[in-house]
Amino acid sequence: MELARRQSGVIHRSQSAGANVSERQMRTMVSKGILERVMPGVYRVVGAPVSWRQRVQAATLWLPGSLASHRTAAALHGMRGNDRAPVEVLVERWGRRQRPPDVLVHETKDLVAADISEVGTIPCTSIVRTLVDLPAVTHDMRAGEAIDGATKDDPTLLLRLRRRHLEVARRGRNGTVRLRRLLDARAGGEVVDSAFERLTLDLIASSVLPRPVTQFQVRDRDFVAYLDLAWPDRMLAVECDSFEHHRTLRAFQWDRRRRRRLVALGWTVLEFTYDEVRHQGDLVVRTLAHHLLDRPPTPTSLPHPETA
């Protein structure tokens, strides 16, 4: 029962031997309503809360040696936009015909030790391997958002992701071309905070506008702010406004105070919505061009965020 508690309420029959529980005792607990079978060889303690994490744990127990992968691993690693992920597992060889209808099984021939990780008691693919696999099953924007979020927390990860991509890339592998396209778009190594910012950065890159600095740090005594996109030598910034970040009154008020402080420091802050960037790109570029021409570069630029 202690083992089942650590495993979100589920246990595999092969683990019962280690707990000195015989097959006969397992059958008795099932007949008495203490355990119930949820997958072949996997049992749930009756009364244990049913959850997504329990389903993932059960799937990895059902397939010994399997790893939670793709969108499931992205959710376990806390990657944004994957909180409602389906249950997906990765195996080196799939020889069974039977499978639970709510589990997606992926096969691989290129698994290495560095691809294997663990979140709690759930074996899963590493962050790098998860990012390699995601483009095969999800939209480019969501996969790109996962890459940007992970590389923001660990700037060295992008290089490791490129190396792993080259190791597994081959003709016919699902997601290879899409991942290459996502990595090519990040050739400059910019750190961005969302897929929205990436879309805006790509729009600017396709124009004749000078390239901005991403996540530029502004510091004034006790005040610190990170600007989505900035031209520090012109004191011009772009903020990618998303409803997601203003869902509460507290968040809305905090953002207003932050903007007033930036303006007091001499910054011009332009706000664009997702729809404007997505569907009115020409207007966004013209607006930026107008402000950039109106604010010529200063002789001495502000320090780079890494040295501020």
**What DSSP string runs through 85-147?**
--EEEEES----S---TTEEEEE-S---GGGEEEETTEEEE-HHHHHHHGGGTS-HHHHHHHH
Assess whether 82 and 184 both reside in one domain. Answer: yes
- Mean pLDDT over the full length of the chain: 84
- Token digits of residue 9: 């309420």
In this structure, the answer to whether residues 153 and 235 fall within a common structural domain is no
Average of pLDDT values for 234-253?
A: 67
Q: Do 184 and 230 reside in the same domain of the chain?
A: no
Reply yes or no on whether the pLDDT at 184 is more than 90: no
Domain boundary among 189, 210, 231: 189
Ranges of beta strands (E only) in the chain are: 10-12, 35-39, 42-45, 67-68, 87-91, 103-107, 116-119, 122-125, 213-220, 223-231, 236-241, 268-273
Confidence of residue 305 (pLDDT cuts 50, 70, 90): very low
Pick from 168, 189, 210: which residue ends a domain? 189
Question: In residues, how long is the chain?
Answer: 308
Query: What token pair was written down for 272?
Result: 């664009």
Tell me: do 60 and 151 sit in the same domain: yes
Q: Are residues 179 and 150 in the same domain?
A: yes
Domain shared by 269 and 201, yes or no: yes
Lowest mean pLDDT among 66-75, 239-248, 278-287: 239-248
| Position 20 in a domain | no
Q: Do 64 and 184 belong together in one domain?
A: yes
Least confident of 103-107, 128-132, 137-141, 149-153: 149-153
Task: Provide the 10 A C-beta neighbour count for residue 183.
Answer: 18
Domain that holds residue 95: 51-189
Beta-sheet strands, E only, within 120-222: 122-125, 213-220
8 Å CB contact between 162 and 120: no
For residues 158 and 265, give the distance between their C-alpha atoms in angstroms, rounded to a whole number.
Answer: 34
Enter the tokens of residue 263: 């303006």
Q: Is 46 within the bounds of a domain?
A: no
Angle (CA) 112 148 301, round 5°: 130
Average pLDDT over residues 130-144: 91
> What three-state secondary structure class fits 281?
helix
58 shares its domain with 185: yes
Strands in 213-220's sheet, in edge-to-edge order, are: 213-220, 223-231, 236-241, 268-273
> 85: which 2 tokens?
């992920």
Same domain, 90 and 150: yes
**Which tokens hold the place of 193?**
């905070």
Does the residue 43 lie in any domain? no
Query: Does 279 lie in the same domain as 178?
Result: no
More confident residue, 42 or 221: 42
On whether the CB atoms of residues 141 and 199 are closer than 8 A, the answer is: yes
Q: Quick one: 232 and 290 in the same domain?
A: yes
Percent of the chain with pLDDT over 70: 86
Asked if residue 276 belongs to a domain, the reply is yes
Average pLDDT over residues 53-60: 94
215 and 251 in a single domain? The answer is: yes
16 falls within a domain: no
pLDDT for 236 beyond 90: yes
CATH number, residue 241: 3.40.960.10
What's the whole-number mean pLDDT along residues 7-28? Answer: 85
Q: Is residue 31 part of a domain?
A: no
Model pTM greater than 0.85?
A: no
Q: How far is CA 109 from the centre of its chain?
A: 24
How many structural domains comprise the chain? 2
133 burial type by CB count under 10 A (0-12 exposed, 13-18 middle, 19+ buried): buried
pLDDT at 283 over 80: yes
**For residue 307, is it within any domain?**
no
Reduced 3-state DSSP string for 97-108:
CCCCCCEEEEEC
Is 160 a member of any domain? yes
